Structure 1
């Protein structure tokens, strides 16, 4: 199944890149833990890698030089895939997600961008984290859409408390070992790749909201060492007030405003 699912994802990626002049390169690796595909263009390259030990499939990119990729790889997306439990439908979903990330070349914006803080190690924001949790809780897909339609920017803390935390507690109480392990892998990966907001949400909102010690024990030994240490530190903030998020409801359209006026 591994080769089959990997081919499904690669075909999705290559179908998107081929029309833009990219070529597919044969990749040989001495590492049995990795399976990789490489796509190169004039200015940049993309690679899809499956890590068998952690069951992660990753889409990465880097710049091209005269000698080939410069190997300064940046991760664009990461998904969990377990050949023992996931099938072609999940592979199709991952391939579509990767392809959508490549659907159009990224254009530089004229507006100034926020400088990255030195302590901000990752680039996975709260919205990205919430979307990855869909792998465990599919119903989050629709709740994320409703949140995005109603508020701007995405209220990461509020959304996690309202929708993610109850599902986490319910899963831990159910004792479903396979899904708990999948959730633990996602939490660990997203903590590692996340920005400061995402890391805070994972530790001080999600993990600190687990409702009893028994459920904590079900999860703790499945998390990465870095996340366990951060969680332990974050427990010092448990019960303390956190400054609420600032957000603004999305503006109504002209039609909606007129309809409201007619109803008065």
Structure 2
């Protein structure tokens, strides 16, 4: 058990320390209410917000674009964690803080923030399948070595094949035996990476992963899933049961930046 105010302050302070190093500034906002607590950090082109929703017991990291008047308030959820101050401790709060810090310090996120001068549309995502796989290391630490092995053995990174062979079995195991906070974190990663991903990443999330899961998990997955991903998953369901064409295996080429698509 921990005081909510103490846990929230610890999480927001750790995030503030990292964001200040990126040029962000913590802003004063309206006092917290019985329904939510919030902290706001603004930069040149992007704003981040940490919000705790009392009714859902969700600790959320989200971002939106900045305008001349301030945040445009079209928030995109980057991560969501279940947090119940009645049963959780500072250990869980520290885990949430570490995940939020990881989100805002990921190399591509930092680069994207530095380059952002205007609001980007959802179709401008550039997170590729390898970046998506690396975001899952926090849930599945063994992926770290498996990603390295894939990088050393194949070029380009076989997003579809790697997901089917390495990621999907772990997700199925998590859904069978994992805790609700772990499942919530998985859904948060899927939603964030779908929103930030390129077309290959989006197809992998909806067709290769979500369509391959047993329907009995649909309700628990959709409980914290973003509306954007829900809609896309529904649209992708007519592909359920169909085999996604795997990538052509190519000899490893160092120094090449050749890309690929799901239909290569």
Tell whether the structures are fold-level matches, with TM greater than 0.5: yes
Structure 1: runs of 5+ lacking an equivalent: 109-115, 254-264
Q: CA deviation at 1:249?
A: 5.6
Q: CA RMSD in A?
A: 4.1
Query: Pick from 208, 212, 237: which aligns with 1:209?
Result: 212
In 2, the alpha carbon distance for the partners of 1:167 and 1:32 equals: 38
Query: Pick from 114, 119, 141: which aligns with 1:106?
Result: 114
What are the Cα deviations for residues 72-113 of structure 1, in whole angstroms up to 9, with x where unaligned?
Answer: 6564x72232224561441342243145247677259xxxxx
Q: Tell me the matched-pair count.
A: 235
Map 1:188-207 → 2, pairs under 5 A: 189-190=191-192, 193=195, 195=197, 196-207=199-210
| Higher relative contact order structure (alpha carbons within 8 Å, sequence separation ≥ 6) | 2
Secondary structure of 1:222's aligned partner: helix
CA contact (8 A) 2:82 2:181 kept: no
Secondary structure of 1:81's aligned partner: strand
Q: CA deviation at 1:250?
A: 5.0
In the superposition, the TM-score normalised over structure 1's length comes to 0.64
Map 1:74-89 → 2, pairs under 5 A: 75=76, 78-84=78-84, 87-89=92-94
In the superposition, the TM-score normalised over structure 2's length comes to 0.64
Query: Pick from 12, 15, 23: which aligns with 2:14?
Result: 12
In 2, the alpha carbon distance for the partners of 1:17 and 1:179 equals: 25
Q: CA deviation at 1:222?
A: 1.6
Which residue number in structure 1 is paired with residue 96 of structure 2? 91
Q: CA deviation at 1:179?
A: 6.0
CA contact (8 A) 2:155 2:253 kept: no
Looking at CA atoms only, which structure, 1 or 2, has the larger radius of gyration?
Answer: 1
Q: Which moved more, 1:158-167 or 1:143-152?
A: 143-152
Which residue number in structure 2 is paired with residue 155 of structure 1? 158
Secondary structure of 2:8's aligned partner: helix
Q: CA deviation at 1:157?
A: 1.4
Which residue number in structure 1 is paired with residue 188 of structure 2? 186
In 2, the alpha carbon distance for the partners of 1:132 and 1:70 equals: 26
Q: CA 1:97–1:183 in structure 2 vs 1: closer, same or farther (change >3 Å)?
A: closer
